[in-house]
Structure 1
Amino acid sequence: MSHTRENPRVVVIGAGIVGCSLADELTARGWTDVTVLEQGPLPAPGGSTSHAPGLVFRTSPSKTLAEFAKYTVEKFSSLQVDGVPCFDPVGGLELATTPERLAELHRRAGYAASWGIRGEIVGPARCKELWPLIDESIVLGGFHTPDDGLARALLAARAQMERAITRGARFLDRHTVTGIERQDGRVTGVVTDRGTFPADHVVSAAGFWGPVIGRMAGVDVPLQPLAHQYARTRPLPELSGASAEATRPILRFQDRDLYFREHADRIGIGSYAHRPLPVDPFAVLPYDEARARDMDMPSSYPFTEEDWAPSWEDCRALMPALRASEIEEGFNGVFSFTPDGMPVLGEARELRGFWLAEAVWVTHSAGVAKAVAEWMVNGRPSLDLHECDHTRFEEAQRSPSYVRERGSQQFVEVYDVIHPLQPMEQPRPLRVSPFYARQQQLGAYFLEGGGWERPHWYEANASLVDALGPLPERDAWSARHWSPIAAAEARATREKVALYDMTPLRRLEVTGPGALDFLDRMTTNNLRKKPGAVTYTLLLDDSGGIRSDLTVARLAPDRFQVGANSPADLDWLTRHAPDDVQIRDITSGTCCIGVWGPAARALVQPLTREDFSHEGFGYFRAKQAHLGHVPVTAMRLSYVGELGWELYTSADLGLRLWDTLWEAGQELGVIAAGRSAFNSLRLEKGYRAWGTDMTDEHSPYEAGLGFAVRLDKEFTGRGALSPDITRRLTPLLLDDPAAVVLSKEPVYVDGAPAGYVTSASYGYTLGRCVAYAWLPAGLATGTGVHIEYFGEKVPATVAEEPLFDPKMTRIRR
């Protein structure tokens, strides 16, 4: 087949910074038959790259984005064109003018330490020293990152283009793509107004034109282009005689949604403060038509003065020197936003060989290109990309109205202080379980994930808080989206019985004559067990990284129910499934209630004729049963460390199942409990959450999951596994009973950053906050460490896991 050739034919659509970077990265890896098609003129084709202000701030709550940006800085620092460097390391400075923002900057400094980025919190005087034009009196402090700076995006694109050309790539401007050719579910070529180009791989790096190219390929590209205001002042006397384009750090004034950079004796200012200005990607003009209408380029819309006016006042308040100046020029530049603010990367499931590298800013461009090139050439990127994988969006999150609404909100929130649990406000509710009406009646406090409404606690349980005794006071940040009711729900689960809505957990049905052989070959644990067995197992990639963790229930000789994590799991399994295996996502048509606690058996057994005793229904077993009138698939599993079952039924019977359990549980003190208690209980037991605690960057042995690996069989990734590890997912207990951390904070060993927290929650049974962190493998139990939380060093100790019920007596009874 042509796509397996040693030097595949690659066509990249778009010669902006992403397309040029990708051509460079692919040709550097030996894929030299690369054609880059661009509808505009080179080297400035008129997309987002052509007007990008070039600010590169590397610090992000996302480790993946931070790694992309770090590589971009590293690569662009090594490039120059005609003696002009492609990156200017002037540094970065983020200002705080409110206590809330100063606290946020401390948190950002924590991210920087976690991801290995140099930075420090500085006082107002140092901010003034770095940027003399600011009014020091309104500044409370700043976050200075000396290695950030300005990317010259068009020069960097040109440098990489020229390098790729020397290796065999060709760049063709003035070629407008009009169609994507395909055969048997695979891409075969790209049609333009100047001919057709055969291809084994096609990459859409078309920026805000991505949805247009995607439609030609029958591939959904969930991004929303929006216009963003950028202006330049007249020359400022204070900057006269400037010998360089920029000498001061790039500046963020996030309290007013503004950023600043120097243009020699002028200042460039960008604003996110205005109303969202969504742009229809199908209505963007071609280059020549845009020029004919007096537009500089297709991505540059006329400046809207009325949107700018409030921001100009904020600029003058921060920099008094601007009060005597005016704006010389401005434009509304178009660039791309997704519903969650992350890029859209990867090979399309609808069309093999068609790749997406979309919604990528200059900051992350080279890092994204490297990852996509690795993915294409080696079969996997060296970075975890699950946050960027285009398969991450649920079907319910792909409607044009959803993408427009969430994309616009992402623009609004670019510089907002966002709590890690904070949900979007609209469109909600979108996906609800069959129990939603009952949850509302019980006063559920809902957060959202994957479009699902997820109860985090129930106000109906408020009366249980009084019996707890005093809980430690929480700081304002950790008290957000939290309630002491969660502690009461955790205690009720440990002492009585609670119902948990587990419906949002993904469920796949795998059937067919080859189902057992297929699943056994794809996963690490032994699945060759009799029907009725449930197995915890791992999906690895070819390099031994953890793609996902699964629970696989064998319900019949050739029928399995798989508990999975993300749409990417369905995509991965479907890609590898032979013809005699069928895989179906059954999540939306089914529902699940977790019934957990010491009284779980007393609740469930009277409702069924099946034997739910420990002898008759062992741990990690599954049974078909009727509870009252409702047929269920019952699995004896527990992610909270207590006796109980996951009970599955069809969505139409879900409400009846809830009511049956609720009514029968009244005399046992049953409650409904939410995800806040659930997360606390799972961390006390040391149960991992994929995508949070471990990803495909980690091996099973590093993640403490070696027990789920059977080396006496063949499975994907087996040959790459090694028991030798240098890092380990490590349980920590905070020393102070009142201290709390949340996640992603840096962990210090012997005074130096040595890792970062993945998950954390207060362990109400233990009376301490539990944190899991990636740390050096050699740390012995009892070792003292420090976790930095808002600039404070919080003492913690390496603990032995599981922290709660190490002999598993509570689950197996």
Structure 2
Amino acid sequence: MAMNPTETLPERAGTVIVGAGIVGCNIAYQLTEMGRDDVVVVDQGPMPTTGGSSTHAPGIMFQTAEPKTLSQFANYSRTLYSELEGADGTQAYNETGGIEVARSEERMAFLQRRVEHAKAWGIDDPQLLSPSEVTDHLPLVDESQILGGYYSPTDGQVSGVVACDALAREAMDRGATFVPHTRTEDVETADGAVQAVVTENGTIDCDEVVVATNIWARQLGEKLGVHLPVTPVEHQYTMTESLEELSESAVDVTDHPLFENYENVSGEKAKRLLVGPDRPILRDQDNAMYFRTHGDSYGIGSYNHEPIVPDPQELGGNDPDGEQGSVHEFTDYHMENATHPDRPHKAPRQASDELLPATAGKELEFKYNGMFAESPNGLPVMGPVQEYDGLWTAAAIWVTHAGGAGKALAEWMETGVPKLDDGPIDLAHSDVNRFDDHEGSWDFARDIGAEEYRIVYNIMHPKWVWTDSQRDIRRTPMYHTHKEYGAELWAEAGWEEPQWFESNADLVDRYEDQIPDRDGWEGIYWSPIEGAETLHVREHVGLHDMTSFNKMEVVGAEAGAFVQRLCTNDMDLDVGDVKYTLMCNEGGGVRADITVTRVDDDRYLLLTTGREVGNNHVAWVREQSPEGVLVNDVTSNLAAMVCTGPDARKVLSKVTDVDLSDEAFPFFTSQQFFVKNVPVTALRVSYAGELGWELYTPSEYGERLWEHVLEAGAEYDIRPYGNGALDSLRIEKGFRLWGKDLHTEHTPYEAGLGWAVDMDTDFIGKEALAESTAAAADGGERRHEVAPLTLDDPDATILDDRPVFAPGEDETLGYVHSAEYGYSVGACIAYTYLPPEYAEPGTDVEVLFEGDRYAATVREEPIHGG
């Protein structure tokens, strides 16, 4: 039996969810399962076929993705959808399996990476198939067109409409209210908090609002002054006429309990869309296409055309007469012609007919351009919106990931910690507060949304950065000097940041015997200059631009007490003291690692390496701050650089009269003075792990300060160095990089940072951390512990996100969180988290990378120096 929503709008709710698509229904399901019975879901369309993306989506479920978050979400979604009962009494999830085929050697190498990511993320039984093994599963595929395939047996399909109905019915049974035909017009706020949702049919007073409107999310955000970089994009979907080869699979669904409702919104194509597939889902990524059966018809999805980006302010709603706001008219031109900028030689229809000859010449019976939402990094936009208490968002989320996203968001709303069934999940790269101001502009969101669409099926290197669109937005004060030194500039959170400097090419000859070649996948977007810069800093002195590091100022009479509440360490600091510490979330996971400097009696400087996720830290600190304490983001206010290396003291002594000796300027202290004529706040710390000083100055002085230091260091052969060298320097010393080898899925003790925790102080997350520590002390097992590895082959280099095994075994123990060659130690260093019995120094393990197993050994920290 289908859901039976109400047409009566309640006057009051605890939580209002705007949008009853697959995301909104999942959130309502999870919140009510946690015991909430005051949840109201409103949507502009009918229910469960609202007319949004969930209505037209074919519902394919490929679980394997390079971002761990998406695979975690998809894996949870598969499990959840498998437990749902559709309105017709059958299981909602069709576990048909999924196959991605390769038409090129480059794609076959990519499919090997698919296997490795699947093993790293815990996806069941990933396999590489030969062409004949592909056609064993998919007999209509032309075997001569492919080189092989990647098979994930637990992939499949779920109808968005069937799942929405099943989720909503269970949520309603637990007390939720679903109200269709109710367009949301605004959200009322007062004193920085949500007060009510204004709809065309009345107002609902509430405590919380979740914006789960997907392609319409930007529209509602703009009314609140929240510029969500959520971009609607179009892709094509069509279904063939009946095929003789599939005649035995013909199904009549006109008696399905949801058919009439579906037909009223989607028209006659509902008779195809409501039919689940009976064989594996097929994806031809070389041609940006995917395929699934609809009974005796084949559905063809195409991303293989130029990006089509409608203006969100011009998107219509769902017309009462049946027009879907998320569907535009099919553009035949994009199916019959090669318009994709990266695939100029073959039209989508030609590619489809080659791979599935049974479709050649057949009529495309139903066809449309369906819309979905993209974000600047291709990940969801979700979490508490920092501008208003009680305002949450969940957008740019596909059917594939909606179950996991709904679970994580509901846990976040209820407990403050995003979780799935197997524990906390880090959502730093999906957090709505991660964005910088420029990303809220429509110019940026439009162009980058289009680029994300363009590359969605491309073979993308993990170090790839935008090359044309929306570059050169944020320039550090040293930008022009960097250009003069031939900097290879990469985009980081809009900043143009040097990865290496061509001016240092001469150093490669000096250090060439310590810099192994990289000629495979690991060598793309790499230069041997990175290694030369690393070794030069270790032996001499270097200067690094760290302006993009996130910087916060905490000010007020109660600033000291607040900083102590934020931080795990004892923060009883004197003016001038510097301390490394952590911030934990309510679950005891590491929310950030930071350096705190007390610069005055009521003023503290907080520094973090967050970069593209650093704004999350700023939002977190502001959210926790009490009245009377100001939290200022001073990232753009201050230019920052670090002069580091054995000769750093000699260099800086030439441009300041301050005594820089160990006795006068100890490690982890700060002083304010002048470098020639430039005012600086100097910290005796260095992320490179060498003698060094971080120098902060108002931005307008930054370029001159940089010049002063370079001029003073000329006789010591000072060199600027980039982020490539910095990553090698920091990993050799065991310094964590937040968002990579340190995040909220780790406690400080698991991360090997227990020394930065003082349990005699009170801090956020202390209770949860104490409970987990007590459980371990009582014989409970810690899930994992940090384990630094070095590869046994001194010439080998690997990249992140690959699985780790015991020697000769197939059970995944963990995965590589970060990896970089350690030029000073002569080996590639990788950081992972392993079961405690495997994390002991001296333990042998293996890392699977590009199809080969690399022997590695767990090491003591730090691997370089002491």
TM-score normalized by structure 1?
0.96
Match of 1:304 among 319, 327, 331: 331
Taking the aligned partners of 1:33 and 1:469, their CA distance within structure 2 comes to 66
Aligned to 2:568: 524
Letter of the structure 1 residue corresponding to residue 825 of structure 2: L
Partner secondary structure for residue 360 of structure 2: helix
Taking the aligned partners of 1:790 and 1:302, their CA distance within structure 2 comes to 42
Q: How far off its partner does 1:243 sit?
A: 5.4
Query: Is the Cα–Cα contact under 8 Å of residues 798 and 819 in structure 2 kept in the other structure?
Result: yes
- Residues 1:606 and 1:191: Cα distance change in structure 2 (over 3 Å): same
Question: What per-residue deviation string (whole Å, max 9, x for no partner) do you get for residues 189-247 of structure 1?
Answer: 11111111111111111111111222333332220101110011122221111156422
Taking the aligned partners of 2:306 and 2:391, their CA distance within structure 1 comes to 35
Taking the aligned partners of 2:578 and 2:596, their CA distance within structure 1 comes to 5
Query: Is the Cα–Cα contact under 8 Å of residues 596 and 605 in structure 2 kept in the other structure?
Result: yes
Aligned to 2:517: 473
Residue 800 (1) aligns with residue 843 (2): no
Q: How far off its partner does 1:765 sit?
A: 0.7
Residue 238 (1) aligns with residue 245 (2): yes
Taking the aligned partners of 2:517 and 2:190, their CA distance within structure 1 comes to 63
Aligned to 1:811: none
TM-score normalized by structure 2?
0.90
Partner secondary structure for residue 795 of structure 1: strand
Residue 394 (1) aligns with residue 436 (2): yes
Taking the aligned partners of 1:8 and 1:30, their CA distance within structure 2 comes to 14
Q: How far off its partner does 1:8 sit?
A: 6.3
Query: What does 1:52-201 correspond to in 2, within 5 Å?
Result: 52-81=57-86, 82-118=88-124, 119-201=126-208
Aligned to 1:287: 318
Taking the aligned partners of 1:633 and 1:803, their CA distance within structure 2 comes to 31
Taking the aligned partners of 1:195 and 1:759, their CA distance within structure 2 comes to 52
Partner secondary structure for residue 613 of structure 1: coil
Q: How far off its partner does 1:42 sit?
A: 1.5
Taking the aligned partners of 1:29 and 1:125, their CA distance within structure 2 comes to 48
Taking the aligned partners of 2:479 and 2:199, their CA distance within structure 1 comes to 50
Question: What per-residue deviation string (whole Å, max 9, x for no partner) do you get for residues 308-351 of structure 1?
Answer: 11100111121222224232221000111111111111111111
Question: What per-residue deviation string (whole Å, max 9, x for no partner) do you get for residues 597-636 of structure 1?
Answer: 1100000012111111111111111110111111111101
Query: Is the Cα–Cα contact under 8 Å of residues 217 and 351 in structure 1 kept in the other structure?
Result: no
Query: Is the Cα–Cα contact under 8 Å of residues 35 and 171 in structure 1 kept in the other structure?
Result: yes
Letter of the structure 2 residue corresponding to residue 497 of structure 1: V
Query: Is the Cα–Cα contact under 8 Å of residues 110 and 789 in structure 1 kept in the other structure?
Result: yes
Letter of the structure 2 residue corresponding to residue 49 of structure 1: S
**RMSD of aligned Cα (Å):** 1.3
Taking the aligned partners of 2:591 and 2:752, their CA distance within structure 1 comes to 15
Taking the aligned partners of 1:290 and 1:745, their CA distance within structure 2 comes to 51
Letter of the structure 2 residue corresponding to residue 298 of structure 1: G
Letter of the structure 2 residue corresponding to residue 52 of structure 1: A
Query: What does 1:243-258 correspond to in 2, within 5 Å?
Result: 245-258=276-289
Query: What does 1:374-385 correspond to in 2, within 5 Å?
Result: 374-382=411-419, 383-385=425-427
Q: How far off its partner does 1:761 sit?
A: 0.3
Taking the aligned partners of 2:745 and 2:604, their CA distance within structure 1 comes to 28
Match of 1:260 among 291, 306, 331: 291
Query: Is the Cα–Cα contact under 8 Å of residues 13 and 205 in structure 1 kept in the other structure?
Result: yes
Partner secondary structure for residue 741 of structure 1: coil
Aligned to 1:272: 303
Aligned to 1:415: 457
- Residues 1:740 and 1:328: Cα distance change in structure 2 (over 3 Å): same
Query: Is the Cα–Cα contact under 8 Å of residues 487 and 498 in structure 2 kept in the other structure?
Result: yes
Partner secondary structure for residue 787 of structure 2: strand
- Residues 1:736 and 1:228: Cα distance change in structure 2 (over 3 Å): same
Query: Is the Cα–Cα contact under 8 Å of residues 636 and 646 in structure 1 kept in the other structure?
Result: yes
Question: What per-residue deviation string (whole Å, max 9, x for no partner) do you get for residues 524-571 of structure 1?
Answer: 111112111100011111211100011001111111111033111111
Residue 576 (1) aligns with residue 603 (2): no
Partner secondary structure for residue 523 of structure 2: coil
Query: Is the Cα–Cα contact under 8 Å of residues 13 and 205 in structure 2 kept in the other structure?
Result: no
Residue 368 (1) aligns with residue 405 (2): yes
Aligned to 2:790: 733
Query: What does 1:600-749 correspond to in 2, within 5 Å?
Result: 600-721=648-769, 722-723=772-773, 724=776, 725-749=782-806
Letter of the structure 1 residue corresponding to residue 329 of structure 2: P
Aligned to 2:847: 787
Taking the aligned partners of 1:347 and 1:472, their CA distance within structure 2 comes to 46
Query: Is the Cα–Cα contact under 8 Å of residues 13 and 40 in structure 2 kept in the other structure?
Result: no
Partner secondary structure for residue 248 of structure 2: coil
Query: Is the Cα–Cα contact under 8 Å of residues 787 and 795 in structure 1 kept in the other structure?
Result: yes
Partner secondary structure for residue 114 of structure 1: helix
Aligned to 1:490: 534
Question: What per-residue deviation string (whole Å, max 9, x for no partner) do you get for residues 42-67 of structure 1?
Answer: 12111100101101111111111111
Aligned to 1:24: 29
Q: How far off its partner does 1:519 sit?
A: 0.1
Taking the aligned partners of 2:512 and 2:527, their CA distance within structure 1 comes to 15
Paired residues in the alignment total 796
Query: Is the Cα–Cα contact under 8 Å of residues 219 and 351 in structure 1 kept in the other structure?
Result: no
Taking the aligned partners of 1:616 and 1:136, their CA distance within structure 2 comes to 74
Query: Is the Cα–Cα contact under 8 Å of residues 190 and 197 in structure 1 kept in the other structure?
Result: yes
Taking the aligned partners of 2:171 and 2:753, their CA distance within structure 1 comes to 42
Residue 14 (1) aligns with residue 19 (2): yes
Taking the aligned partners of 1:452 and 1:355, their CA distance within structure 2 comes to 28
Query: What does 1:219-234 correspond to in 2, within 5 Å?
Result: 219-234=226-241
Gaps of 5+ in 1: 1-6, 807-813
Gaps of 5+ in 2: 1-11, 252-275, 337-346, 420-424, 777-781
Taking the aligned partners of 1:271 and 1:288, their CA distance within structure 2 comes to 26
Report the more deviating stretch, 236-245 or 515-524.
236-245
Residue 440 (1) aligns with residue 483 (2): yes
Partner secondary structure for residue 9 of structure 1: strand
Query: Is the Cα–Cα contact under 8 Å of residues 290 and 298 in structure 1 kept in the other structure?
Result: no
Query: Is the Cα–Cα contact under 8 Å of residues 421 and 447 in structure 1 kept in the other structure?
Result: no
Taking the aligned partners of 2:627 and 2:176, their CA distance within structure 1 comes to 38
- Residues 1:286 and 1:529: Cα distance change in structure 2 (over 3 Å): closer
Aligned to 1:50: 55
Letter of the structure 1 residue corresponding to residue 592 of structure 2: S
Aligned to 1:455: 498
Taking the aligned partners of 1:497 and 1:577, their CA distance within structure 2 comes to 39
Letter of the structure 1 residue corresponding to residue 184 of structure 2: V
Report the more deviating stretch, 621-630 or 776-785.
776-785
Aligned to 1:551: 595
Aligned to 1:770: 829
Taking the aligned partners of 1:674 and 1:286, their CA distance within structure 2 comes to 48
Match of 1:761 among 814, 820, 829: 820
Q: How far off its partner does 1:108 sit?
A: 1.5
Taking the aligned partners of 2:768 and 2:678, their CA distance within structure 1 comes to 46
